[in-house]
Structure 1
């Protein structure tokens, strides 16, 4: 299993992205609310997974997703219980079977020393199972980096560049149809104006012909009288 040591490793893993996935916000919340790093780099727990704080529940590791151990695993991040997490983590949750509830954090909790011996991030491959190929161990150094970062700065540094490009390209392409529609609208307006002028000219010609016909008849009648 790959261990992520810094923000660039986290960015390259593409964990928690793109939107509406909530994993990056979940990880930032966890680092700031649930962990304290001591002088020896150990991750001291600021919450109690055994009591179900913030929606923590037991993870039994039946498929050996994580290393076997005598200590219990606990997972957090299921948005079906959105009251347990802050709004910035839950705001994109749709309530449907989509990517908005796919990410989880799993911790190895040592209750004797009140610390997390290991922290992992993962994502669902389907509603019942986690993805072996997208499960990563979070190092204490990375946890320190996250704790030192403001949330917006953290998201900016961990959002993969390909998603930035995709967003920018989508934005640029979305502008072109608007410009084309504007030109088309102006062209249609010009065509409508041109058609209106033609209609007026045709009507004037008809009126002129009628007047000429009446005038010619008048002249012809007067000629016969003389």
Structure 2
């Protein structure tokens, strides 16, 4: 896969260390780190094909127009040819009024946003509760995810490309968790062993 072949000015994050150092999704109540981790484990497979359906607006996916930021003469991301079935889709807006299926995102992503909304229903939700986004270059015909980006509400200075190896690292967290869950704790059979020994002693030879 020719990943990020079109990218020129967007910085690429190659590892979890790069991600943490970038400041994306930090600090709480920003939800970007949880969003990206969940996306890596639930919305792309090992072949970088989408297991979510952006066209059906799964989890609040919707088309991203790739407009020029106010401070730039160029679009936020490289232009792509929509006629070749490629399009940008964005994920992460937690406002269920505008994106109803965003309510299906898990509590580790929505938690702070929902809590603020419930506790202060008459107050406007601050931007940092809902500014983080994922943007994907998605092929509607082949279901391939060509490129992945993260952005603090499309700010060119806070937009990064996510390299495949970082996605693999985030997916690896899921594999490690599953391995740990599947490990059986050694059973404490001390009492049973004692009973078995006692029974064997009590048996007479025939």
1:146 aligned residue: 170
| Long gaps (5+) in structure 2 | 1-9, 69-74, 97-101, 118-124, 178-206
Partner residue in 1 for 2:35:
26
Following superposition, the deviation at residue 45 of structure 1 comes to 0.6
Alignment of 1:119-130 (within 5 A): 119-124=148-153, 130=154
5+ long unaligned stretches in structure 1:
125-129, 154-226
Q: Tell me the distance in 2 between the aligned counterparts of 1:48 and 1:144.
A: 20
1:150, distance to aligned residue in structure 2 (A): 4.7
Of residues 153, 157, 175, the one that matches 1:133 is: 157
One of 111, 136, 144 as aligned partner of 1:115: 144
State the Cα RMSD in Å.
1.6
Larger radius of gyration: 1
1:1-226 matched pairs, under 5 angstroms: 1-38=10-47, 43-63=48-68, 64-70=75-81, 71-81=86-96, 82-93=102-113, 94-95=116-117, 96-124=125-153, 130-150=154-174
1:53 and 1:90 mapped to 2: Cα distance? 15
SS in 1 for 2:63: strand
What is the total number of aligned residue pairs between the two structures?
143
Structure 1 segments (4+ residues) deviating >3 Å: none
Question: Are the equivalent residues in 2 in contact too, given 1:17–1:24 (CA < 8 A)?
Answer: yes
Structure with greater helix share of residues: 1
Per-residue deviation at 1:7? 0.7
**Contact 2:61 / 2:89 at 8 angstroms: preserved in 1?**
yes
